[in-house]
């Protein structure tokens, strides 16, 4: 595909049309109320939420993608001036409200961009998504899969969100005399909060902006901004910290629950320089529970990193096993991770190259030794190296639908090695080939 046609979750100039997978801020870096570079395609729910996040955005730019339906986008080739048609289908990404995967099809081949996604193989929602994807692909082969590789490491193996939600409920039930603080983002985890509200028949406190979002999503009677009405409060993730919980406990008994697949790096109770765990292993190299600490025998994957804080693996991103199942289903010729420059980056080909239809070679990982940086300890993390297998023959290169695809890579980064702040793709010429 030529340069200057399509960008996904990327808002710099130079493309004819733009696609937004969902409204988390790491996917909207560069998008603003004054942005006006071209038509903006997104799901219907994202289009409903966009004016709240970007009040002065020109709404005439919005183009709604209906879930599970093909839509045709007419573009002009910058080199020849000829018209070219791109087919695109939005598929539920099971991530947060409005989140979609994007399946592109055209003379260039077939490309699938997952955005952030959760592929829970046991849920009815995922089964419906599986059926949609299989029917959409038909006899096509995905030439390049651009995939959410947030947890592309065997260390990450967490339960379904349904199981994790029950773990949160068990923690709350085990602390009947405590206030409960739950760290969430500005969008997402709504199903968890609804489950808590239903089980305990209580309202959930949220901050004012979050309440407006809840109303836009259709939840009008479950959430409140009055602290006197409930002991359960959902607070912005950035305000959730050990210091905050210690301060609240000086007023009344309070525990914090962080529902996330992200591993934690937490300082110990003694204020020394030793970190508790590491980026890739802290969640699954569990700390010791004392007899009185573990509130329920069913909380197998719950950790207590601090006397006031529980970490529950409620994730809106696919874990390693789910990523593997997804790749087995799609069987792409090539895979590229959309998290491409974080300190815990793992190229998906390292683990899943063998599952590609083109039998992609594996990559060797190098590890940086632990070192101190500005008084903090950095941990060993994998980095990319050159391809080490050379048996990728011309026979492997020959594909049913052709030839070479030209696609720029994905740019991404992380804040404090935990939060991604930028990613996206500009469909353009590059060195990628199938």
* DSSP notation for 249-282: TTTS-EEEEEE-SS---B--SS-SS--BS-TTTT
Backbone angles phi, psi at 84, to 5 degrees: -130, 140
| pTM summary value | 0.79
pLDDT of residue 80: 79
With 50 as the cut, is the pLDDT of residue 206 above it? yes
Q: What is the mean predicted confidence (pLDDT) over 381-399?
A: 32
Averaged over 196-214, what is the pLDDT?
97
**Which domains does the chain carry?**
6-155+317-427 (3.60.15.10), 161-312 (3.40.50.12650)
CA–CA separation, 431 and 53 (whole Å): 36
Is the confidence at residue 42, as pLDDT, over 50? yes
pLDDT-derived band at 301 (thresholds 50, 70, 90) equals low
Residue 130 has pLDDT above 50, yes or no: yes
Q: Which residues contact 173 (CB under 8 A, 6 or more apart)?
A: 295, 296
| Range of weakest confidence among 221-230, 329-338, 417-426 | 417-426
Residue 265 in this model has a pLDDT that exceeds 50: no
Give 122's pLDDT tier (boundaries 50, 70, 90). confident
- The DSSP bridge partners found for residue 87 are 72, 105
**Model pLDDT, residue 15:** 93
pLDDT of amino acid 72:
96
pLDDT for 266-277, tens place per residue? 444 444 433 333
**pLDDT at residue 361, as a whole number:** 59
The pLDDT of residue 291: 33
Look at residue 149 in the predicted model and tell me its pLDDT: 93
Q: With DSSP H G I counted as helix, E B as strand and the rest as coil, what are the percentages for the chain, rounded to 5?
A: 25, 25, 55
Percent of the chain past pLDDT 70, that is, above it, reads 72
| CA distance linking residue 410 with residue 191, whole number of Å | 30
pLDDT digits (tens, 9 = 90+) for 344-359: 677 899 999 999 986 6
Q: What is the pLDDT of residue 277?
A: 31
Cα(38)–Cα(16) distance, integer angstroms: 6
Residue in 340, 20, 301, 361 with CA at minimum distance from that of residue 152: 340
**Could you identify the residue written with the tokens 């950790």?**
303
Taking residues 53-57, what's their average pLDDT? 95
pLDDT at 307 over 50: yes
**Order of strands across the sheet that contains 204-205:** 223-224, 204-205, 232-236, 179-184, 254-259, 309-312, 303-306
10-14, 127-131, 350-354 — which is least confidently predicted?
127-131
Residue 255 — pLDDT band, cuts 50, 70, 90?
very high
**pLDDT, averaged across the chain:** 78
């Amino acid at each position: 595909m030529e340069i200057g046609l399509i960008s996904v979750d990327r808002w710099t100039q130079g493309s004819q049309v733009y696609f937004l997978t969902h409204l988390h801020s790491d996917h909207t870096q560069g998008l603003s109320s004054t942005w006006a570079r071209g038509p903006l395609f997104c799901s219907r729910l994202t289009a409903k939420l966009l004016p709240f996040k970007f009040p002065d955005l020109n709404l005439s730019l919005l183009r709604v993608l209906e879930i599970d339906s093909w839509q045709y986008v007419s573009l002009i080739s910058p080199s020849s001036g000829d018209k070219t048609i791109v087919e695109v289908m939005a598929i539920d990404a099971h991530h947060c409200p409005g989140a979609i995967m994007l399946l592109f099809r055209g003379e260039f081949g077939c490309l699938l961009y997952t955005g952030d996604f959760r592929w829970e193989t046991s849920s009815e929602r995922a089964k419906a998504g599986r059926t949609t994807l299989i029917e959409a692909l038909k006899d096509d082969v995905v030439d390049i899969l651009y995939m959410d590789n947030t947890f592309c490491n065997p260390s990450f193996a967490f339960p379904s969100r349904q199981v994790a939600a029950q773990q949160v409920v068990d923690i709350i039930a085990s602390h009947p005399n405590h206030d409960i603080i739950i760290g969430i983002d500005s969008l997402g985890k709504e199903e968890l909060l609804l489950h808590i509200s239903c089980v305990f028949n209580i309202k959930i406190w949220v901050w004012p902006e979050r309440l407006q979002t809840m109303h836009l999503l259709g939840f009008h009677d479950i959430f409140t901004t009055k602290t006197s009405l409930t002991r359960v409060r959902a607070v912005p993730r950035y305000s959730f910290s050990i210091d905050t919980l210690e301060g609240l406990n000086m007023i009344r008994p309070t525990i914090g629950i962080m529902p996330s697949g992200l591993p934690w790096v937490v300082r110990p109770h003694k204020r020394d320089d030793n970190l508790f765990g590491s980026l890739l292993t802290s969640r699954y190299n569990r700390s010791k529970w004392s007899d009185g600490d573990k509130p329920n025998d069913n909380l197998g994957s719950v950790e207590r990193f601090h006397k006031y804080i529980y970490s529950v693996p409620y994730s809106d991103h696919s874990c390693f096993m789910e990523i593997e199942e997804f790749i087995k289903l799609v069987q792409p010729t090539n895979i590229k991770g959309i998290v491409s420059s974080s300190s815990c980056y793992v190229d998906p080909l390292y683990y899943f190259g063998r599952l590609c239809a083109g039998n992609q070679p594996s990559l060797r990982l190098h590890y940086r030794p632990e070192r101190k940086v500005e008084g903090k300890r950095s941990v060993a993390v994998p980095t990319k190296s050159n391809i080490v297998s050379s048996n990728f023959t011309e026979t492997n290169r020959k594909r049913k639908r052709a030839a070479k695809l030209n696609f720029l890579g994905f740019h991404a980064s992380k804040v404090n090695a935990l939060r991604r702040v930028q990613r996206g793709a500009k469909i353009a010429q590059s060195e990628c080939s199938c």
